[in-house]
């Protein structure tokens, strides 16, 4: 169903607008609604990057960076990190960057859309030592710790979105408890101007 005209602009479209607002499934008559994030996929404004590193070691945490543009566009961000062993996952704001890292390709979730992300992403960004990762915003653990530690897969996801500050870098950092840990980092966001 195409989006109807706003009835305030045309009294004749009021019936069409009402039908749009009260859409129901033709089989079970359930009301049709979608989450705003899902709506942004349909609008061509939702993006994803995914990074897989099969060999993260204790001495070299895995970093993925997302940079919000210096524009009026707001980046509404969420992330999920998975690992096949115990790990610490952290989200930092405004790190001191030493080396940019390797640029990643941001994918539009609407594969028919030509829209490009205004946020940029990088893998293996490095920060100036010591401890210049920025302001800690979120932390979570994957797996167990201690003497009876076992290796098993798990994930950490911050279920609420972050609206990123304009012209600011953010780091997702994964510090593993054992060498040769496989890590998957998936960043998703939508952009609102």
Is residue 68 assigned to a domain? Answer: yes
Report pTM: 0.81
Residues 24, 60 share a domain: no
Residues 59, 116 share a domain: yes
166 within 8 A of 69, measured Cβ to Cβ:
yes
Is residue 140 assigned to a domain? Answer: yes
Least confident of 22-26, 69-73, 77-81: 22-26
Q: What is the mean predicted confidence (pLDDT) over 79-88?
A: 93
Residues 88, 141 share a domain: yes
Taking 3-state DSSP, the helix, strand and coil percentages for the chain, each rounded to the nearest 5, stand at 10, 45, 45
Is pLDDT of 9 > 60? no
Residues 90, 3 share a domain: no
Residues 174, 120 share a domain: yes
Domain count of the fold of the chain:
2
Is residue 98 assigned to a domain? Answer: yes
Confidence of residue 155 (pLDDT cuts 50, 70, 90): confident
More confident of the two residues 18 and 40 = 40
Query: Please, what sign has the CA dihedral across residues 181, 102, 66, 41?
Result: negative
Is residue 39 assigned to a domain? Answer: no
In this predicted model, what pLDDT tens digit does every residue of 19-41 receive, in sequence order?
Answer: 666 777 667 777 777 788 888 88
Residues 140, 165 share a domain: yes
For tokens 């961000």, the residue is 77
For tokens 């600011």, the residue is 168
Q: How far apart are CA 132 and CA 142, in angstroms?
A: 23
Is residue 87 assigned to a domain? Answer: yes
Outline where the chain has alpha helix (H). Answer: 14-21, 36-42
Boundaries of domain holding 24: 1-33
Is pLDDT of 151 > 60? no
């Amino acid at each position: 169903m195409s989006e109807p005209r706003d009835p305030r602009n045309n009294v004749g479209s009021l019936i069409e607008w009402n039908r749009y607002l009260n859409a129901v499934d033709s089989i079970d008559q359930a009301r049709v609604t979608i989450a705003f994030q899902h709506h942004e996929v349909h609008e061509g404004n939702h993006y994803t990057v995914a990074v897989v590193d099969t060999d993260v070691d204790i001495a070299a945490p895995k970093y993925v960076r997302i940079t919000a543009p210096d524009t009026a566009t707001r980046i509404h961000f969420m992330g999920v990190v998975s690992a096949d062993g115990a790990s610490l996952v952290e989200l930092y704001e405004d790190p001191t960057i030493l080396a940019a890292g390797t640029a990643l390709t941001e994918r539009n979730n609407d594969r028919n859309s030509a829209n490009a992300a205004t946020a940029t992403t990088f893998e293996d960004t490095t920060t100036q030592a010591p401890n210049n990762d920025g302001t800690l915003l979120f932390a979570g653990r994957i797996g167990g710790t201690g003497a009876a530690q076992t290796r098993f897969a798990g994930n950490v996801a911050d279920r609420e979105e972050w609206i990123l500050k304009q012209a600011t870098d953010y780091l997702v950092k994964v510090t593993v408890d054992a060498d040769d840990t496989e890590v998957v980092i998936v960043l998703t966001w939508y952009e609102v101007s």
